[in-house]
């Protein structure tokens, strides 16, 4: 019996809120798997983190889930589902647990619709490449799920940093699943560097694929929260239905977004203070050297 993989692309994250960039990331990943790797993708899955995720600006999961559901409600996004399991857990859930659960569920629930999509996909490929090879009878194929984790370069780079990920879980993740790493402009070097660092630490990297978008987009959830706080338009940044939900429920209007702005301001002030302290330390170091050399007159003007 022939074995055929069917692709499931998983995107984990805060989705605080979901943006058009998140959706584009899934679309680009699907193209990569189907055209570059050669596996038909039957489903995309969005898995928002739960409320235990340690981030001060994170709004309640019920709102983030709803916005994700609205974002994929259009016909063109019908291949993407929102999985609420991770969001409803009492404790923070590691990515590998999410992937393992999805793989198990997919293996048990491969449907006739998934098999039908495989036939359509084969027909399309034959048309594209003028392939005369006959498609095997579906009943004679054993279908198995192939799960891909879709992520950005920042998340992938964190895997190469000791202490960020639990080593045995990271090894299991890279061994059992594939990674699709979206490379934004200017992140190619970071991607290659992280890939090399993982290899040096004896982590498997054969299933790590870089996804290079044909267009440049710079959209972040942070920017959405700031614009929402300022009551500015979110059109072209998030789906229209998500924008309407944000303003209808007054999300990010004051509390969390204002707190985030304050925290960023405090961080900037701390960094400025650290910088000023370093300058003073250097000055006093120079002064102490001058005093040791007996040149007290050179520093007397500082204390007048």
**pLDDT at site 96:** 96
Q: pTM, whole model, 2 decimals?
A: 0.79
> Please, what is the average pLDDT of the chain?
83
Distance, C-alpha 265 to centroid of its chain? 25
**pLDDT at site 120:** 84
**pLDDT at site 298:** 35
Give, rounded to a whole angstrom, the gap between the first and last alpha carbons of the chain: 91
Q: Which of 24-38, 67-81, 111-125, 176-190 has the lowest mean pLDDT?
A: 111-125
Higher pLDDT, 276 or 166: 166
* DSSP states of 198-226: HHHTT---TTEEEE--SS-----HHHHHH
Residue ranges, CATH 3.40.50.620, the chain:
2-253
Beta carbons of 49 and 12 less than 8 angstroms apart? yes
| H helix runs in the chain, sequence order | 20-31, 61-71, 95-108, 112-129, 153-159, 167-176, 188-200, 221-229, 240-248, 255-292
pLDDT score of 10 more than 60: yes
Q: List all residues 6 or more positions away from 74 whose beta carbon is below 8 Å from its beta carbon.
A: 239
Domain at 2-253: CATH code: 3.40.50.620
Tokens 């590691």 locate to 94
**pLDDT at site 112:** 76
**pLDDT at site 135:** 64
pLDDT score of 146 more than 80: yes
Confidence band, pLDDT 50/70/90 cuts, at residue 174: very high
Report the alpha-carbon distance of residue 55 to residue 15 in Å, rounded. 12
**pLDDT at site 33:** 96
Report the alpha-carbon distance of residue 192 to residue 157 in Å, rounded. 9
**pLDDT at site 253:** 81
pLDDT score of 182 more than 50: yes
pLDDT score of 291 more than 50: no
Vertex 14, ends 25 and 30: CA angle to 5°? Answer: 20
Confidence band, pLDDT 50/70/90 cuts, at residue 262: very low
The side-by-side arrangement of strands in the sheet containing 141-152 is 80-82, 41-48, 2-13, 141-152, 178-182, 208-211
Q: Which of 49-58, 123-132, 189-198, 261-270 has the lowest mean pLDDT?
A: 261-270
Which pLDDT tens digit goes with each residue over 231-247? 899 988 999 999 999 99
Q: What is the mean pLDDT of residues 118-140?
A: 71
């Amino acid at each position: 019996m022939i074995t055929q993989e069917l692709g499931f692309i998983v995107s984990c994250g805060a989705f605080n809120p979901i943006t058009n960039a998140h959706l584009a990331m899934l679309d680009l990943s699907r193209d990569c798997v189907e055209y570059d790797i050669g596996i038909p993708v039957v489903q995309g899955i969005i898995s928002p983190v739960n409320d235990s995720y340690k981030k001060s600006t994170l709004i309640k999961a019920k709102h983030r889930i709803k916005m994700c559901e609205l974002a994929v409600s259009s016909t063109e996004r019908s291949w993407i589902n929102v999985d609420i399991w991770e969001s409803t857990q009492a404790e923070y859930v590691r990515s590998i647990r999410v992937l393992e659960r999805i793989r198990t569920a997919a293996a048990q629930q491969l449907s006739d619709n998934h098999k039908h999509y495989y036939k359509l996909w084969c027909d399309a490929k034959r048309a594209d490449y003028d392939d005369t090879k006959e498609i095997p009878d579906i009943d004679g194929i054993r279908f198995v799920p192939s799960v891909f984790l879709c992520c950005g370069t920042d998340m992938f780079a964190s895997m190469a940093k000791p202490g960020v990920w639990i080593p045995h879980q990271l090894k299991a993740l890279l061994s059992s699943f594939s990674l699709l790493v979206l490379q934004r402009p200017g992140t190619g070097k970071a991607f290659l560097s992280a890939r090399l660092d993982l290899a040096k630490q004896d982590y498997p990297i054969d299933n790590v694929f870089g996804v290079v978008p044909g267009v440049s987009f710079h959209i972040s959830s942070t920017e959405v929260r700031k614009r929402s706080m300022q009551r500015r338009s979110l059109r072209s940044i998030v789906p229209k239905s998500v924008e309407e939900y944000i303003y209808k429920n007054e999300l990010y209007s004051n509390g969390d977004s204002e707190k985030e702005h304050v925290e960023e301001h405090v961080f900037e002030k701390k960094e400025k203070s650290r910088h000023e302290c370093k300058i003073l330390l250097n000055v006093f170091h120079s002064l102490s050297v001058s005093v040791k050399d007996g040149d007290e007159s050179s520093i007397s003007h500082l204390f007048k």
